[in-house]
Structure 1
């Protein structure tokens, strides 16, 4: 029964033609625009996509730099000055607090 009523509704729907474009009476196709809301939403989407692209570019550069840094052998625990970092060699160790110089004199 539902199928029959659906087919009847489709058969009575007017087909679009050159004179009938589905607009309200009194409107023409050139008068229909998205308006201010459409512009604001489009501008928001453009700004969001540009911000995401900038963020993604930064992250990709950071990953590439880290890959180059680790490929050059610098991740073996050596600091850039050539000294060995003892905290990096011992995974669970914490750095010792600096000595209090005021009581040493």
Structure 2
């Protein structure tokens, strides 16, 4: 009777934790991104770098235009203060 009870408990413990079947295991193509994932990531990185370069150029242009506009305004203000001087 004790042996029968131990056998039933042992069967119950082993049945509670089923082991996975080999057919249910994912293969490498389902787990890794492969070449397509690498290419997509590489293209995305190149696009981001190009956008950053373009943004830096645009910001630099805006800053230079603002500096030139300030210089022209300062020259015009100086000219309006002293209209008697001749420009060469």
So what's the TM-score if we normalise by structure 2?
0.52
Q: Which has the higher contact order (CA 8 A, sep 6+)?
A: 1
Superposed CA offset, 1:22-56 (max 9, x none): xx713268x71011000100000000000000011
d(CA) in 1 for partners of 2:25, 2:63? 60
SS at the partner of 1:72? helix
d(CA) in 1 for partners of 2:43, 2:65? 33
Q: Match of 1:44?
A: 43
d(CA) in 1 for partners of 2:69, 2:62? 11
Q: Match of 2:64?
A: 65
Q: Match of 1:88?
A: none
Q: Structure 1 runs of 4+ off > 3 angstroms?
A: none
Compare the two structures and name the one with the higher helix fraction.
2
d(CA) in 1 for partners of 2:45, 2:68? 35
d(CA) in 2 for partners of 1:66, 1:50? 25
User: 1:61 Cα shift?
Assistant: 0.1
d(CA) in 1 for partners of 2:42, 2:72? 46
Unaligned stretches of 5+ residues in structure 2: 1-18, 77-86
Unaligned stretches of 5+ residues in structure 1: 1-18, 77-81, 84-105
SS at the partner of 1:50? helix
d(CA) in 2 for partners of 1:70, 1:26? 68
